[in-house]
Amino acid sequence: MSNNNNSSIKDFFLKLVHSYQTISKIFIFLCAVILVVWQMPRTVKFKYEYQKMKPWQYESLYAPFNFPIYKTAEEIKLEEDDYLKDSYPIFTYDNVITKQNREKMIADFDTKWTGNQVDKLKNKQLLERLYDTIENQGIIANISSLENMKPESMIDVVRDRVVKTRQVRDFYTMKTATDFISDHLLNADEGIDKAMINRLLLAHIHQNIIYSEDLTEQAREQAKSSISLTFGMVQKDELIINEGEIVTEERYNILNSLKTEYASIDSGSFFNRNLNLYGQILLVFVIFSSLFIGLRLLYSDIFKESKSINLIIIVMLMMIIPSFIIIRLYPDMIYVMPLTILAMLMVTFFNIRVAIYVQTITLIIISLAVPNPFQFFIIQYFVSLVSIFVLGKNTSRSRYFVTYASIFISYIVLKVSVSLTLDGGLDNFTWNDVGTFAMNTLFAMLTLPLSYLMEKIFGFVTDMTLLELSNTNSPLLRKLSSEAPGTFQHVMQVADLCEEALFAIGGNMLLARTGAMYHDVGKLKNPLFFTENQHGKYNMHNEMSYYESSQIIINHVLDGIEICRKYHVPEQIIDFARTHHGTRRTEYFYQMELKENPDIEVNEADFRYHGPIPFSKETAVLMMADSVEAASRSLNEKTEESISKLVDGIIDAQVNDNQFINTDLTFRDITTIKKVFKKKLMNIYHVRIAYPV
């Protein structure tokens, strides 16, 4: 009854976990669709791809509606330059300061004059006449800062809200004004105080023709805005281009104009205005559905883990959403976006096939919004392939920098190839493209820190981390070799067996090797209770009951989990310690307990490991290798026959004990593993094969 209750509770929790994972996948799916559609540009895309001086590859095209023919950017620039040639810098006449300085000058004269009234009137009239002559004509401000400004240059002067075009030479400068004063005072009548008048004039005349940068720029902007952006109309149903006709300069401009109009389509009703949105929702839904279905059918081991799906979707969104923002704001800068980051992260955490599949789906989504989707997809797809194949299942950080260089070179080669193929030349390939690809490559260097960040957030283990863990100088392995040298030798032999077996049947050799090196660290708690660490004939189990001995042996699994977590060993490696004995019995102690106490009912569960059983090829191979290697040490005679019998017996017993039912091992795999173990053990113990005489 108790067992049935436990089974029911276990089934309930399994269903609960499965339901949670299903709900989380549906949630991340809907979030991905909503975010992508939300950020996708809302424009009706022109469905044709065409190149100047290339044949029109579609059926004859007729205008679907009336639309203007837009001038090219070069034509608009030429017209702007023509307008700017006919526009002059604008100066203003400062009437206020001129009047104020005149009043101050007269007041100073009245204060300082000490002569008779007749001469005062004569001097005052001359002072006013000279000041008015100079200031009314105007003293132009320093124009040396203005480009190409010469005496014969034309300027516009605003005075009393009236604009007049004059030459620069029509105005005084401070020097010519000073010379004018000196010349007139030189032949002045008797009774004129030349020194006083000269001093007062020089103190109060000022530059009153002032350059106005604001008015000049305003006038130029008005001139630019008055330029018409179009130069003709195409009527509805008018033939634009025939099938097979060469796309000439004129036809190219008309097609570009139609493409521009498509981008600004806004039909009348609410429903029509949102047809584009409805189409995007449906299309993005279908694309993400294909992603999930493909992962479910082709990569079920990845799909069943929610964290794997979360990682894939989050990194995809990190590429898609910024790309859409760039397309909306700076469409010409789309190649700055380092989409190869996604490809490299996928191959780092999963494998090459998953990386290609996910990258292809991502590029399809982004291509829905880019101006030239065919060219964009071709370049990005093949650069992504280069990054995937060059990086591969990388085991060194230096490999990343080789990949970065390959990405940069691939971008340039592909851009040149596409330009030559589609444009018939390199007119569209500039140094700006090289700079863009260089920026892209620099951003792609974020892959390495991102992989470390994602590894910690999502709990994945990369090959580089596995290499670091498998270094025998790591703290925990050094402790194992120092305090339990026999166990250390055992795990190294087991690691070799696992690596050879996984190489033969296909699997993650590095993961299995690393897991094997840590699977027995629990023996550090009581190293002398394990035969490989015992010296001489003394055995500590002789002083204990069989039950107590079995508990110490069984608990080394739990101790190993505890020690690994203390040393921050990843859970993927802890799984090897957790499963390497599955739910098997400590057979020796169980049988001895039965023999010693035939009249007492022995609880078999007390002599069984707590599990779980292996769940992957790698953990299953470790269980086999661990048992085979340990048992082979106790063989009295190590011959080909004895080793073969040992390997077959141990592995067959594990199979019969249902230890591998949660793995995808086949009978062929198990047969191959046996052959590998036999050959490897015979090499270890230097067993010669008996050849027939």
CA 166 to chain centre: 59
Q: Could you give the C-alpha distances from 375 to 35, 335, 344, 363, 404, in angstroms and in order?
A: 25, 11, 22, 12, 22
Query: Does residue 563 carry a pLDDT above 90?
Result: yes
Query: Does residue 226 carry a pLDDT above 80?
Result: no
Query: For 618-634, what is each residue's pLDDT tens digit?
Result: 999 999 999 999 988 88
Which tokens go with 263?
């981008």
Q: What is the pLDDT of residue 230?
A: 82
Query: Does residue 72 carry a pLDDT above 90?
Result: no
- Average pLDDT on 98-119 reads 87
- Average pLDDT on 1-7 reads 49
Q: What is the pLDDT of residue 43?
A: 66
Q: What is the pLDDT of residue 562?
A: 94
Instruction: State the DSSP code for 363.
Output: H
Residue 357 pLDDT class (50, 70, 90 cuts): very high
Q: What is the pLDDT of residue 670?
A: 94
Give Rg (Cα) of the chain.
44
For 475, half-sphere exposure in the C-beta direction (CA atoms, 13 angstrom radius) is 6
Q: What is the pLDDT of residue 116?
A: 82
- Average pLDDT on 504-527 reads 92
Of the listed ranges 116-125, 166-175, 499-508, the least confidently predicted one is 116-125
Instruction: State the DSSP code for 604.
Output: G
d(CA 315, CA 304): 18
DSSP β-ladder status, 162-167 and 154-159 = antiparallel
Residue 2 pLDDT class (50, 70, 90 cuts): very low
570 conformational bin, left if phi > 0, alpha if psi -120 to 50, beta if neither: beta
Query: Does residue 13 carry a pLDDT above 60?
Result: no
Q: What is the pLDDT of residue 423?
A: 67
- Residue 167 in contact with residue 154, Cβ under 8 Å? yes
DSSP state string for 299-338 = -HHHHT-HHHHHHHHHHHHHHHHHHHHHHHH-GGGGGGS-
Higher pLDDT, 173 or 541: 173
Domain boundaries, the chain: 2-44+273-458, 83-224, 463-684
217: exposed, middle or buried (C-beta count within 10 Å: 0-12, 13-18, 19+)?
exposed
- Average pLDDT on 9-18 reads 57
Query: Does residue 306 carry a pLDDT above 90?
Result: no
Higher pLDDT, 575 or 271: 575
Q: What is the pLDDT of residue 602?
A: 76
| Helix, coil or strand: residue 230 | strand
Question: In degrees rounded to 5, what are phi and psi of residue 139?
Answer: -110, 115
- Residue 620 in contact with residue 655, Cβ under 8 Å? no
> Quick one: what percent of the chain has pLDDT higher than 90?
38
148: exposed, middle or buried (C-beta count within 10 Å: 0-12, 13-18, 19+)?
exposed
Residue type, position 82, single letter: D
pTM, entire model? 0.68
CATH of domain 463-684: 1.10.3210
Which tokens go with 438?
């260089």
d(CA 201, CA 416): 70
Higher pLDDT, 449 or 593: 449
- Average pLDDT on 230-240 reads 86
Instruction: State the DSSP code for 446.
Output: T
DSSP β-ladder status, 90-93 and 154-159 = parallel
Identify any residues that bridge with 67 across adjacent strands, giving them in sequence order. Answer: 234
Q: Is the dihedral of CA 482, 483, 488, 489 positive or negative?
A: positive
DSSP state string for 58-121 = SS-EE-SS-EEEEPPHHHHHHHHHHHHHH---EEEE-HHHHHHHHHHHHHHHHHH--S-HHHHH
570: CB partners within 8 A, 6+ apart: 459, 461, 465, 469
Query: Does residue 282 carry a pLDDT above 60?
Result: yes
Residue 1 pLDDT class (50, 70, 90 cuts): very low
Residue 267 pLDDT class (50, 70, 90 cuts): very low
Given the structure tokens 């047809």, which residue do they identify? Answer: 275
Q: What is the pLDDT of residue 268?
A: 45
- Average pLDDT on 132-161 reads 83
Query: Does residue 87 carry a pLDDT above 50?
Result: yes
- Residue 604 in contact with residue 590, Cβ under 8 Å? yes
d(CA 417, CA 423): 10
Which tokens go with 341?
């980051």
- Average pLDDT on 583-593 reads 83
Q: Cβ of 318: how many Cβ atoms within 10 Å?
A: 14
- Residue 134 in contact with residue 205, Cβ under 8 Å? yes
Residue 395 pLDDT class (50, 70, 90 cuts): low
